[in-house]
Amino acid sequence: MSSEKVKPSLISIVGANVGIGVVKTLTYTYDLATLPFYTVLQRPWKTWRNRFTVFAAVDDVPNASPAGPWSRRVDRINEAVFEGMETVDQLTRKAVKQYADEVCFGWREAFGEEEEEQPDGKVFIKQLQGDYQWMSYREFDEKVDLVGRGLMSLGVRPRQNVCILAETRMEWMLTAQACLRINIPVVTLYATLGEDGIIHGITETETTHLITSQDLLPKVIKLLPKLPSVTHVIYMESRITKIKPVVPSGVHFLPFSQLECLGKTADTELRGEVPGPEDTAIIMYTSGSTGIPKGVMITQANIIATARGFQTMVPEGDPKDAYIAYLPLAHIFELCCEMVAIALGVRIGYASPLTLTDKSTGVKTGTPGDATLLRPSVMVSVPLILDRIRKSVTEVAESKGLFSKMFFRHVVTYKAFWQRYGYDTPILDLLVFNKMKALLGGRIKVVATGSAPLSADTHAFIKACLGCDLIQGYGLTETSAGATVMELSDMSLGRVGSPLAGTTLRLVDWPEAGYFSTDLPHPRGEIVVGGSTVSKGYYKNEALTRECFKVENGKRWFYTGDVAEMYPNGTLKIIDRKKDLVKLQFGEYISLGKVEAEMKTCPIIENICVHGSSFHTYLIALVAPSEKALEQLALSMNKEGLTFKEMCEDPDIKKTATQQILEHAKKCNLHKMEIPTKIKLCSESWQPDSGLVTAAFKIRRKQITTYYQKDIDEMYSKST
């Protein structure tokens, strides 16, 4: 019986290897025959020249050292776009004047929702949506004025905080623009922020007027008894639910659509105040990975500086291009990216992670996702989403058999190789990769990613499969999302580019962990950011502001806590995080963030939190597994019909999954002490509303370890 099972397997393996051998022979023969033709046609020497580009260099100052300060030397910014611009309103008005009748913002019609049962018995809520509806720059400008006057007619005055607690949508940007035009600071809270975070942000900023969405009203109404400062709640109506919500007395509730009506009848003397560059534009509360959310005070000039620096990502944008907006506008990264689009006349189409592609969980089978309709040319993402795209595409290819698996790996490696040398692969694109590009509309030219390091493997994979420029950036809320960004001509993988125009970086020694600016072959140290993107500090927290923001030699600097190394061409690679460092019992320092970044590329792992204790000699890991990967593993072990929780707890599945994860860790070239000894598969949902991850799906280490403390104690109590 065993021989009968082995024989077909051997035949399939031999057949697949022979088939791939034939494919490789044909492709290499084709390469030799067509290389001269492609060299003339595609002019790869343009890419070759980029290998010698110096993107940033140490400033020419007395006693300069490898520690910096480093400044950008290459950018493709159209200075005319931002010339003389100091505030958000100035930039918006300039765009309105230049692109008055061009379309500016788009949103999809919504007709309702319905339940759809999946083959595995699960039921998803599907949204029934129509085409995109569009608004011109001129129409948007008129609405901004009306909403601003409407808010003032309700008692809001310049320099008085207004809070927005809502998901990303056109009304969010409309409200923010209206407030910033008349110098009303906007307090931003993630829609997924926990109750304590919402209460803290609104109470600390003494917000009287809260702008939210109809979908979040139940949450807001529940919290109102703990929000004594709130007198008005303005809600953006649901495009699906037409039933008027039941609201409590004592607080004035108003539909967002009535703001415009109030603006039309408001006193014409309500003009607000013209903002200055140093006025606070945003008080941004992050769902940070540690502690109570902190409010970062971001000025009008900070936003302009970051938007100007980000322009290098899309220097030739025009109204024919489209930007797909689906990340939280409550984060400065998305807000600044949309400001770039506005400044360049690029259409912004609002979308949702649940309806982004045809295969998204909120899209009815057979109907188009947001990207298919919008056909964006520019999008921003976070590493977790790109990792998920890579895993899902790979799973589909590998589910079709051994030959398909080997063929797919070959063509991805093949295309990535030629891309590095400046060549396109038009035939492979036509046969294989255009189908993948169609997942995001087929017109993507640039994908930008930030918020966390992206692995070099995923970077190369996405570039190959989508046939676009993939650029990484690095920044924090405290630097208005702007610290570094790659140039389109930067062909490096696993790095985050060079300092933004107008920004400088330094590397500060961290002796405890062995990082010094004198290290060879590359200087290393904690990243310290200075320049026009550095924010004013933390709202009502002078002590923490003094600790993290320092004025040195007449310049304001922010100490990030992130550790990097600087390459000779002036590009940065994030290698560690001071708060992620743990010292094991024998004195070894381990970077938890580094281990997590490497292990996250394992197909079984959706997300991971590695934990270490100074009282023990080894690491452990809490893994949020990919449900699809776990189901495939269960099927291969003849364990069908198990729930996700049952699969996570099944001893055989746990053992096999752990073995596969540890084997993957070894392939990632992690040192023995960096590989977790014990692993727990977590069946709980690691979503932002759980409080275990941020809105950008970065783990909240303290919250995760607190939640799983009993499991952690158990893993450490049992001898290895």
- Angle CA 411–413–419, to nearest 5: 100
HEC profile of 612-668: ECCCCCCEEEEEEECHHHHHHHHHHCCCCCCCHHHHHHCHHHHHHHHHHHHHHHHHC
pLDDT tens-place string over residues 213-243? 999 999 999 999 999 999 999 999 987 777 7
Tokens of 43: 């002019």
Highest mean pLDDT, choosing among 402-406, 613-617, 678-682: 678-682
Question: Who contacts 587 (Cβ-Cβ below 8 Å, separation ≥6)?
Answer: none
CA distance 375 to 391: 23
What residue spans of 182-233 are helical by DSSP H?
A: 195-204, 217-223
pLDDT score of 719: 52
- pLDDT > 60? residue 420: yes
The strand pair at 186-189 and 280-285 is best described as: parallel
Peptide bond into 376 cis (omega under 30): no
CA distance 300 to 303: 5
Q: How many residues does the chain have?
A: 720
Look up residue 87 and give its DSSP letter.
Answer: S
- Count CB neighbours of 114 within 10 A: 11
What residue spans of 365-455 are helical by DSSP H?
A: 370-374, 383-398, 402-420, 426-428, 434-437
What is the arithmetic mean of pLDDT over 14-27?
85
CA distance 689 to 609: 17
CA distance 619 to 253: 51
Look up residue 690 and give its DSSP letter.
Answer: G
Burial of 242 (0-12, 13-18, 19+ CB in 10 A): exposed
Tokens of 353: 């992670």
Q: Which residue has the tokens 């500060």?
A: 508
Q: With H, G, I as helix, E, B as strand and everything else as coil, classify residue 101.
A: coil
Tokens of 421: 């040398």
What is the arithmetic mean of pLDDT over 512-526?
91
Residue 691 phi/psi, 5° resolution?
Answer: 85, 0
pLDDT score of 61: 66
Look up residue 526 and give its DSSP letter.
Answer: E
The residue among 28 and 89 whose pLDDT is bigger is: 89
Tokens of 551: 């004025």
- Count CB neighbours of 11 within 10 A: 10
The residue among 315 and 441 whose pLDDT is bigger is: 441
Q: What is the mean pLDDT of the chain?
A: 89
Burial of 183 (0-12, 13-18, 19+ CB in 10 A): buried
Question: Who contacts 637 (Cβ-Cβ below 8 Å, separation ≥6)?
Answer: 652, 653, 656
Between the alpha carbon of residue 268 and those of residues 185, 272, 450, the distances in Å are 22, 11, 43
Cβ 682 vs Cβ 605: under 8 Å: no
pLDDT score of 166: 95
Neighbour order of strands in the sheet with 446-449: 123-136, 103-117, 347-350, 322-325, 378-381, 446-449, 469-474, 484-485, 498-499
CA distance 139 to 385: 34
Between the alpha carbon of residue 406 and those of residues 403, 410, 413, the distances in Å are 5, 6, 11
The strand pair at 581-583 and 589-591 is best described as: antiparallel
pLDDT tens-place string over residues 584-613? 766 667 878 888 888 888 889 999 999 988
- Closest C-alpha among 282, 277, 220 to residue 251: 220
Point out the least confidently predicted range of 96-105, 360-369, 511-520, 685-694.
Answer: 685-694
- pLDDT > 50? residue 1: no
pLDDT score of 390: 85
pLDDT tens-place string over residues 657-699? 999 999 998 888 788 888 999 999 999 989 877 888 877 778 8
- pLDDT > 70? residue 10: yes
Look up residue 489 and give its DSSP letter.
Answer: T
Look up residue 597 and give its DSSP letter.
Answer: H
- Count CB neighbours of 662 within 10 A: 18
Peptide bond into 225 cis (omega under 30): no
pLDDT tens-place string over residues 157-170? 999 999 999 999 99
What residue spans of 224-326 are helical by DSSP H?
A: 257-265, 300-310
Tokens of 308: 């100007």
pLDDT score of 4: 40
